[in-house]
A = this chain, B = another copy of it.
Amino acid sequence: MRWRCTCAYDGTDFEGWQSQVGGNTVQDTIEARLGAIFKRPIRVHGAGRTDAGVHARGQVFHFDADWSHGSQKLLSALSASLRRDIQITSIAGVNVSFHARFSALRKRYVYRFYLGQASPFETRYCWSVGDRSMDLVATEQLAQRFLGTHDFTALAATHHDGKTINPEKTLYRLEFQQEGKKLQLIVEGSGFLYKMVRTIAGTLLQVGRGALTADYVWDCLEKKERREKIVTAPAHGLCLDRVFYAKNFLQNV
């Protein structure tokens, strides 16, 4: 039996999603709980890795295990004695052709800025960028140009594990929403290069602040040159908001 789970986590005190030596990751924590329930090692597969400090409201993962007591009881068992910075928000049986990563059509990230100094209650979840004014028109215009399919080499870090990855990615949505001093950037795409969302966020902020021009950034993009002036926004402002799948995978089995 295959199970699709959704979870939320405060990434502050984790070394990211993906399992690693030392074990202080979200994946390791969930696998430890599943191991305790099923009395054998269970491997979970996440929709995407999140870096150390990055949060999630809608991370999705799947795993295979036999369980005859229904999904609600599995949710309770999995949630029991879990650290309070992880929450399992849903669990459902799915067809075995479902794969949290390979079946994903699209992912949505939200990058949160605070135009000033965020309070101690918000500072873990947004980047406080001070109260200098932002030219949101300039940033919106550049954001519009990023939509569609481009080679995003200039706006990503060199991939850390050395694998060759197709640098062409498609962005479907890139939108700012502001409420008082809270400014958030919503990014939806087919997939993302390493640190690409945080680099887009940092770059759009620099353009809004007048530190970079949109033409400069576009020139980097076209020449596929990662330059020093391109800034990557810090991890703690980023949140994996939602992963989208085809409808047939969302039916419970």
**Chain A residues within 8 Å of B, Cβ to Cβ:** 8-10, 55, 57, 79, 84-87, 117, 119-121, 123-125
A25 to chain B minimum Cβ distance, whole angstroms, is: 15
12 contacts between A and B (CB under 8 A): A8-B120, A10-B121, A55-B120, A55-B121, A57-B119, A57-B121, A79-B117, A84-B120, A85-B123, A86-B120, A87-B117, A121-B125
Closest residue of chain B to A119 (Cβ to Cβ) is: B8
- Chain B residue numbers with a CB within 8 Å of A10 are 120-121
A80 to chain B minimum Cβ distance, whole angstroms, is: 12
Closest residue of chain B to A12 (Cβ to Cβ) is: B120
A38 to chain B minimum Cβ distance, whole angstroms, is: 23
- Chain B residue numbers with a CB within 8 Å of A117 are 79, 87
- Chain B residue numbers with a CB within 8 Å of A9 are 120
Q: Determine the distance from Cα of A8 to Cα of B123 in the docked complex, in whole angstroms.
A: 12
Q: Determine the distance from Cα of A9 to Cα of B122 in the docked complex, in whole angstroms.
A: 11
Closest residue of chain B to A128 (Cβ to Cβ) is: B84
Closest residue of chain B to A236 (Cβ to Cβ) is: B84
Q: Determine the distance from Cα of A55 to Cα of B122 in the docked complex, in whole angstroms.
A: 13
Q: Which of B8, B85, B123 contacts A84 (CB 8 A)?
A: B123
**Other A-B pairs beyond A8-B121, A55-B121, A57-B121, 17, CB < 8 Å:** A8-B119, A8-B120, A9-B120, A10-B120, A10-B121, A55-B120, A57-B119, A79-B117, A84-B120, A84-B124, A85-B120, A85-B123, A86-B120, A87-B117, A87-B120, A87-B123, A121-B125
Q: Determine the distance from Cα of A119 to Cα of B10 in the docked complex, in whole angstroms.
A: 9
Q: Determine the distance from Cα of A180 to Cα of B213 in the docked complex, in whole angstroms.
A: 44
Q: Determine the distance from Cα of A136 to Cα of B44 in the docked complex, in whole angstroms.
A: 42
A241 to chain B minimum Cβ distance, whole angstroms, is: 12
Q: Determine the distance from Cα of A10 to Cα of B9 in the docked complex, in whole angstroms.
A: 18
- Chain B residue numbers with a CB within 8 Å of A121 are 8, 10, 55, 57, 125
3 closest Cβ pairs, A-B complex: A10-B120, A85-B120, A84-B123
Q: Determine the distance from Cα of A9 to Cα of B120 in the docked complex, in whole angstroms.
A: 6
Closest residue of chain B to A7 (Cβ to Cβ) is: B120
A54 to chain B minimum Cβ distance, whole angstroms, is: 13
Q: Determine the distance from Cα of A87 to Cα of B114 in the docked complex, in whole angstroms.
A: 15
A124 to chain B minimum Cβ distance, whole angstroms, is: 8
Closest residue of chain B to A87 (Cβ to Cβ) is: B120
Q: Determine the distance from Cα of A10 to Cα of B122 in the docked complex, in whole angstroms.
A: 10
A129 to chain B minimum Cβ distance, whole angstroms, is: 14
